[in-house]
């Protein structure tokens, strides 16, 4: 965990105590345990600084090791880790053993590029494996560097390196789905943009795709770091995350010397994908066969997700686009089903898992 100052430790304790009145306030206004948990999570992400969040959360690798040795995992009890060296070193953390000919889901976790992975991300990945068939699907989870340790596009470089590694290792594009939730969905979109238009500071995907990828699974994807859509106003206070939190996290990722906004203003849409003109996506059918885009009715980034989905449907490309709007769902509901300890998976979770199997040509088990 990254070090924090004594002052930050003291304020962490005080803000932790603030959970109690927020729980009581939420309990007075609703009898729904789910809504109380949403209110508490909204308070925590809004009250803590990024350094405090990263201090209290376990690093991605530690969470993965603990998960694979727990009863929650259907994988082997020992962790299976692939080290990828290079300009942007990273790791692939495997759920299930990969063998030649096996299907692969390359997964990028969410968390605003701020949070490391949670066990709930891994629980969702295991749910996908159990739905598709554990003997048919292995999941490779990318451990990327959180901001502000490194700013965008460093994470794109790591994701590109991960895709290159899998292709070089013999994974056929038709056997590979890229998936991600929230910021992870943003990273998927950045990678597809990078294949179409090589980012000037990121190595090209190599070997080049010999055929289109089986699909991309975008779960409540972040499509922009501008916090201006009307859904921020409509759903602020209803979603798991607040508008002010999105503004704070976005500034950490795109600020400093990242050159993020200069790049977007110059017509480089690797990060600001929702604003990209249709021409940016020309040829996407040669990169990926099909696309799933999900959103929740009550999430703050809803309008931007809908806008992206509309753009994809209008492209006229020879690919299949499916959109799922989860009734009553909040941001990243595939993850929140586990964080909020729902008794049954929601619409987005169920459909996305089955969709991965369909994209890979495997009939779902459940």
CATH (domain of 167)? 3.40.50.1820
Span 297-325, pLDDT tens digits: 999 999 999 999 999 999 988 999 999 99
Residues 98 and 40 in one domain: no
C-alpha radius of gyration, the chain, whole number: 19
Q: What are phi and psi of 95, to 5 degrees?
A: -115, 110
User: What crossing angle do the helices spanning 33-47 and 243-254 adopt, rounded to 10°?
Assistant: 40
Residue 365 falls inside a structural domain: no
Residue 366 falls inside a structural domain: no
Residue 365 pLDDT grade (very low, low, confident, very high; cuts 50, 70, 90): low
Residues 259 and 346 in one domain: yes
Cis peptide bond upstream of 204, omega within 30: no
Span 10-41, pLDDT tens digits: 999 988 888 888 777 777 777 677 778 888 88
75 pLDDT higher than 90: no
User: What crossing angle do the helices spanning 33-47 and 19-29 adopt, rounded to 10°?
Assistant: 150
Residue 364 falls inside a structural domain: no
User: What crossing angle do the helices spanning 119-132 and 347-359 adopt, rounded to 10°?
Assistant: 50
Residues 2 and 107 in one domain: no
Residues 7 and 73 in one domain: no
76 pLDDT higher than 60: no
- Domain hosting 17: range is 1-56
Stretch 95-99: mean pLDDT: 91
Residues 45 and 75 in one domain: no
Count: domains in the chain: 2
Residue 146 pLDDT grade (very low, low, confident, very high; cuts 50, 70, 90): very high
């Amino acid at each position: 965990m990254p070090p924090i100052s004594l002052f930050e430790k003291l304020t962490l304790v005080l803000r932790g105590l603030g959970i109690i009145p927020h729980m009581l306030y939420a309990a007075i206004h609703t009898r729904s345990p789910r809504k109380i948990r949403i209110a508490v999570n909204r308070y925590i992400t809004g009250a803590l600084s990024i350094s405090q969040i990263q201090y209290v959360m376990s690093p991605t690798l530690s969470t993965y090791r603990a998960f694979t040795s727990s009863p929650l995992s259907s994988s082997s009890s020992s962790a299976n880790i692939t080290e990828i060296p290079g300009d942007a070193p990273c790791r692939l953390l495997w759920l299930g053993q990969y063998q030649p000919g096996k299907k692969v889901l390359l997964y990028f976790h969410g968390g605003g590029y701020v949070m490391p992975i949670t066990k709930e991300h891994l629980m969702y990945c295991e749910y996908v494996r159990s739905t598709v068939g554990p003997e048919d699907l292995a999941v490779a989870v990318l451990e990327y560097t959180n901001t502000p340790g490194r700013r965008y596009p460093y994470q794109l470089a790591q994701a590109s390196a991960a895709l290159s590694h899998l292709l070089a290792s013999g994974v056929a594009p038709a056997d590979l789905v890229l998936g991600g939730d929230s910021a992870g969905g943003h990273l998927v979109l950045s990678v597809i943009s990078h294949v179409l238009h090589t980012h000037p500071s990121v190595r090209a995907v190599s070997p080049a795709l010999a055929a289109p990828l089986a699909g991309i699974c975008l779960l409540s994807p972040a499509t922009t770091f501008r916090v201006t859509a009307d859904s921020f106003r409509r759903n602020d206070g209803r979603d798991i995350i607040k508008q002010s939190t999105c503004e704070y996290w976005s500034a950490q990722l795109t600020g400093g010397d990242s050159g993020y906004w200069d790049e977007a203003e110059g017509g480089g849409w690797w990060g600001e994908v929702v604003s990209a003109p249709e021409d940016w996506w020309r040829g996407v059918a040669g990169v990926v066969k099909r696309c799933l885009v999900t959103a929740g009715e009550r999430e703050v980034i809803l309008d931007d997700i809908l806008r992206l989905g509309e753009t994809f449907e209008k492209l006229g490309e020879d690919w299949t686009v499916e959109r799922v709007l989860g009734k009553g769902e909040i941001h990243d509901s595939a993850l929140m089903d586990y964080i909020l300890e729902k008794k049954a998976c929601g619409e987005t979770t169920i459909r996305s898992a089955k969709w991965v199997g369909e994209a890979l040509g495997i009939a779902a088990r459940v």
